[in-house]
Chain A
């Protein structure tokens, strides 16, 4: 079986190489049958990799411990859902998943465009399959998931049990976090391949942006989901009471998200005004290369991380791929500068164009600062020979002002007119939102909030919400005046008419909710207490009483469970049950945090240790205001993104204003 799997990967590697060669040679010698055969071999790669994935899964479910991957990531007593996730528990498996998802994307793209873009498609296929071939090199020759244990000439087949999946990974968000993140990371290969293909074939227009808009949005959605699931996992599992600590692995997942967000905004400049063409090429390339760079960073031991990834022999492969790939991308963009000339110029600081520019500037600054902080030990070691790291405060101090400025732009950008805006119109648009924002800030200050950043944050959040709210109400009222339907119905109609615009607004609302939730962390309370059974401790408004410690075991782990009576200002809130587990096979301790989620604040209790025959416990408790908003905000973002993806009722095509002139502002062409 392992032979079939290894063979499938090897064949997939050959087919990928063939696809690259056939599509390029077919294109250059104008042989359409050769190109067709390249496209067919993309499907073959997918079929072969699907076989390989299925075989690994089969090995995991049948506990075939002869395979190193199965032995290292699963054990007999593990429940089947985690046997499934053990597929991406180790390096070999996660690389295989990466390859498989990439082949899936490639197959879908080739199928969708089998009759379209005949000029560009051979290059698109070529680029995607080049990336595929790189990952298949790793799958086939470096980190094969079908490695077996052997002694002398025979395979070792008498292994009783595996080491088990890291208990930290045995949690539901971890089940979907890696695939989501990978879907988001790998997905950018599609816009990237189209962008590069359009450069190679010297396409004059923005064809690649229109065709890949949906891909970009979908992959951005996956990235957002992946990052948020990661944060949620850290919060629910790691037990330190927060969801983000600027760890290199977290940063590596956030960086491409930031550039992707910048890209989503700056493509609008190219679509509507024909500006920022070079910039968009750079952004799409950076967004594609950053995840691969991030993988290099975290998986080759380049950056120190609390996430335990072992030293691996992958380094040289990744460095080579990155160096060659980035050099080729840069060369291609530089050699096609003539085709990327801007069609318009920035005119006024108070214009939509300039707000997009500042949005990009600030996002890229954030990206650079995070990258700098993450790489600081590497940089200082290279320059001075002394490894120096920066702490969490570094990231916070830079990113908080950036986030506030972004919030301001989120409110202002969409309402500022293209080209130039008068102070008078700004006053009209922003007077009430500004008043509302200031009112909230003053109100909070009177209520006793004194920190500068949180006050600013809540003020700006209000500002954005009111701005967006007014947009919805204004638009809906215009519809209502004609049709006479209710406000809610008119809003839905409004959104349906221009899903991109109003979906975008909803995404902005979601981001505001997330930002408000993050701001809540400025008011976190932490407390540690050592308690005997029967004793109580106080945190915030809550009183925690240790009622009982119970102990038990099952096949997978031993457990200690706490019955913790919770009261708030004397009112009984029932019990919480934080738990500790000791996984027998992996010899690792793990904590099951108890969290009481409420809209205003979370009560978060972590059961640290039990001592004195389980009669004394150490409790680490946190009160985290507004944390739930972070997760709620995510769902709003998701909803908004889905709306953006829905086709609008009226397909409107705005002619370029530069071409049509002032009248073009209102010229709509309905189909």
Chain B
């Protein structure tokens, strides 16, 4: 057998299989990052696709009922426009992360229900970054290098 063919065939078989695996699992696990206004504009697509919506947890909106948690996700912390609110309901198996609290940045994974409520299967939350230098409470000041 030709030398190139001899090595080419197994290599092609391996890479082919992996490409196929990559392709099929990409399709299955794809999650679309959307902002809240984008979700509102998606129309029917929002009910079909797996979405990942980023926003902030609105103050005073977290309600626990049994194992279900509902809250409002807002585009940014100063949002007043009602249109940018997204009601989220979470009833997943895993308890919510420690970092999930009012004002926290949260990423909700799931689908938009027919009722306009976002049904999340997973919630990730992130505190305000450690490395963002916020001024010390006592003095209003700015960091600088001497």
A residues near B, CB below 8 A?
2-3, 6, 65, 68, 71-73, 89-91, 144, 146-151, 155-156, 158-160, 166, 240, 304, 306, 308-312, 345-349, 354, 357-358, 361-362, 365, 369, 372, 376-377, 386-394, 397-398, 401-402, 405, 526, 528, 530, 588-591, 608-609, 618, 620
Contact A365 B31 (CB under 8 A): no
Distance in angstroms from B143 CB to nearest chain A CB is: 5
Distance in angstroms from B129 CB to nearest chain A CB is: 3
Q: Kindly list 20 other residue pairs between chains A and B, CB separation below 8 angstroms, not including A306-B126, A309-B131, A386-B32.
A: A91-B131, A146-B145, A146-B146, A148-B143, A306-B124, A310-B131, A347-B3, A348-B6, A354-B7, A361-B14, A369-B22, A388-B31, A388-B33, A391-B31, A394-B29, A402-B18, A588-B99, A589-B98, A589-B99, A609-B95
* A401 to B19 CA separation, bound complex (whole angstroms): 12
Contacts of A144 in B (CB 8 A): 145
* A158 to B141 CA separation, bound complex (whole angstroms): 12
Q: Select A156's contact among B3, B7, B141, beta carbons within 8 Å.
A: B141
Contact B127 A308 (CB under 8 A): yes
Distance in angstroms from B65 CB to nearest chain A CB is: 13
* A647 to B99 CA separation, bound complex (whole angstroms): 51
Q: Select A608's contact among B95, B107, B136, B140, beta carbons within 8 Å.
A: B95
Contacts of B67 in A (CB 8 A): 530
Contact B95 A68 (CB under 8 A): no
Q: Select B131's contact among A156, A312, A402, beta carbons within 8 Å.
A: A312
Contacts of A146 in B (CB 8 A): 145-146
Distance in angstroms from B47 CB to nearest chain A CB is: 17
Contacts of B28 in A (CB 8 A): 393-394
* A341 to B33 CA separation, bound complex (whole angstroms): 47
Distance in angstroms from A528 CB to nearest chain B CB is: 6
Tally the A-B contacts, defined by beta carbons under 8 Å. 153
Q: Does B94 touch A at the CB level, under 8 Å?
A: yes
| Shortest Cβ distance from A73 into B: residue | B130
Chain A interface SS verdict (over half):
mixed
Contact B94 A365 (CB under 8 A): no
Q: Which residues of chain B from 121 to 139 have a CB within 8 Å of any chain A CB?
A: 124, 126-127, 129-133, 135-136, 138-139
* A2 to B93 CA separation, bound complex (whole angstroms): 50
* A310 to B126 CA separation, bound complex (whole angstroms): 11
Contact B138 A588 (CB under 8 A): no
* A372 to B29 CA separation, bound complex (whole angstroms): 14
Q: Which residues of chain B from 65 to 96 have a CB within 8 Å of any chain A CB?
A: 67, 93-95
Contact B7 A349 (CB under 8 A): yes
Contacts of B144 in A (CB 8 A): 147-148, 150
Q: Does B48 touch A at the CB level, under 8 Å?
A: no
CB pairs A–B below 8 angstroms (12 shown) = A6-B146, A65-B136, A72-B130, A147-B144, A148-B143, A304-B33, A365-B15, A372-B22, A388-B32, A390-B30, A391-B31, A589-B99
Distance in angstroms from A32 CB to nearest chain B CB is: 39
Distance in angstroms from B135 CB to nearest chain A CB is: 7
* A365 to B95 CA separation, bound complex (whole angstroms): 36
Q: Does B117 touch A at the CB level, under 8 Å?
A: no
Contacts of B15 in A (CB 8 A): 361, 365
| Shortest Cβ distance from B29 into A: residue | A391
| Shortest Cβ distance from A349 into B: residue | B6
Q: Does B26 touch A at the CB level, under 8 Å?
A: yes
Distance in angstroms from B91 CB to nearest chain A CB is: 12
Contact A401 B17 (CB under 8 A): yes
* A391 to B51 CA separation, bound complex (whole angstroms): 12
Distance in angstroms from A411 CB to nearest chain B CB is: 17
* A401 to B15 CA separation, bound complex (whole angstroms): 12
Contact A397 B25 (CB under 8 A): yes
| Shortest Cβ distance from B107 into A: residue | A304
Distance in angstroms from A655 CB to nearest chain B CB is: 26
Q: Does B10 touch A at the CB level, under 8 Å?
A: yes
- 5 nearest interchain CB pairs? A310-B129, A310-B131, A387-B33, A391-B29, A151-B141
Contacts of A155 in B (CB 8 A): 146
Q: Select A590's contact among B24, B98, B126, beta carbons within 8 Å.
A: B98
| Shortest Cβ distance from B132 into A: residue | A310
Q: A397-B21, A528-B93, A589-B98 are in contact. Are A310 and B130 (CB under 8 A)?
A: yes
Contact A68 B131 (CB under 8 A): no
Contacts of A358 in B (CB 8 A): 10, 14
Q: Select A390's contact among B18, B29, B145, beta carbons within 8 Å.
A: B29
| Shortest Cβ distance from B18 into A: residue | A365
* A618 to B93 CA separation, bound complex (whole angstroms): 12
* A72 to B131 CA separation, bound complex (whole angstroms): 7
Contact B14 A377 (CB under 8 A): no
* A590 to B33 CA separation, bound complex (whole angstroms): 28
Q: A90-B131, A393-B29 are in contact. Are A150 and B142 (CB under 8 A)?
A: yes
Contact A390 B25 (CB under 8 A): yes
Distance in angstroms from B62 CB to nearest chain A CB is: 13
Contact B7 A387 (CB under 8 A): no
Contact A620 B94 (CB under 8 A): yes
Contact B136 A71 (CB under 8 A): yes
Q: Select A398's contact among B21, B33, B107, beta carbons within 8 Å.
A: B21
Q: Select B146's contact among A148, A159, A304, A589, beta carbons within 8 Å.
A: A148
Contact B138 A160 (CB under 8 A): yes
Distance in angstroms from B124 CB to nearest chain A CB is: 6
Q: A72-B131, A526-B93 are in contact. Are A362 and B14 (CB under 8 A)?
A: yes
Contact A166 B98 (CB under 8 A): no
